[in-house]
Amino acid sequence: MPKLAKTKESNIDLDELKKILVSNNLNREVEDTKLLVREAFEKVCLTYGAEWISSAIDKTSKKYNQLLEFEEHRIYGTAGFMHKLLRLAEFSDFLDAINGHKSIIKKLKTNNETMGAFFELIVATAFQRSGFSVGLNKKSGIKGQDYDLVVSKNDQELAVEVKSKSPAIKYGRHKLRTTIWKASQQLPANKAGIIVVCIPAEWAEKKGVVKDFEAACTNVFRTNESLLAVVVIWHGYFGNRDLGFIVCEIYSVIANPSARFTIENLTEVLDLMAKPGKWGRRD
């Protein structure tokens, strides 16, 4: 195992950061968890590059990337950082089986595409773990052919479009409708498809957000029978007796009642992406 030390691109000592991760961020002495975090950190450095991990958490770096932003949240501590670290380590076990995975890693390291690539990996690895063949769809800029992923199993093929909204974007009903409509236009008319929309946790708690999403989806479903569903994913924070606060992805599905396609075991795939949960406040 190579020594994870300072790089030319960063002022952060990775060995020191690793010590912080496996000790100070846990409210109780949980040796198994410490080992898990330590192993995850080293796996992520080897898979994605120690230099990138270092620069990704160092605001003084020219390559600073907010994906692994290492800041103490006033309530949740560094739970968000640890969650993404563990997820990236998890993805590394499945990357080789995803056709075109190097393109996703490249996007992961590009500031304006970072979060989108992170959620693409969540979706892609969930399908791969469920026995689907997974590949990146070659971008064409052509309506109906410009989706993100193509997955297949037992002669069934599914087009997947993943949209990610930045926390910096203020919630708005029109933005929501536009996002879902544009995503639907990127999917083919003659093939089963789903849209995965990844939203900030703040959006998921907005008053009226459930009705807004349902209205936006209903509008698209009227003219698109190939679209199976819109899956909404967001980050949730939970208290944990041993770990303090932990983070996980949560999902909710808005199904198309008029869909003319079905995909077997789709719920099982979604359960690997995230945990089913309630969202928003109904009026």
pLDDT tens for 93-141 read 889 999 999 998 888 888 778 888 889 999 999 999 889 999 998 877 7
In this prediction, residues 168-178 reach a mean pLDDT of 88
Percentage of the chain with pLDDT > 70? 73
* Residue in the structure block whose two tokens are 């010590």: 19
pLDDT tens figures, 37-81: 778 888 888 888 877 777 766 666 666 666 666 544 444 445 667
In this prediction, residues 236-254 reach a mean pLDDT of 68
Question: pTM for this one?
Answer: 0.82
Computed over every residue of the chain, the mean pLDDT equals: 78
Choice between 111 and 267, residue whose per-residue pLDDT is larger = 267
The pLDDT value given to residue 213: 92
The pLDDT value given to residue 58: 67
Dihedral sign computed on CA atoms, order 55, 59, 64, 65: positive
Q: What number of other Cβ atoms are within 10 A of residue 71's Cβ?
A: 12
Cβ–Cβ under 8 Å, residues 92 and 44: yes
Choice between 235 and 226, residue whose per-residue pLDDT is larger = 226
What is the rounded distance in angstroms from the CA atom of residue 104 to the CA atom of residue 91? 11
What is the rounded distance in angstroms from the CA atom of residue 75 to the CA atom of residue 60? 25
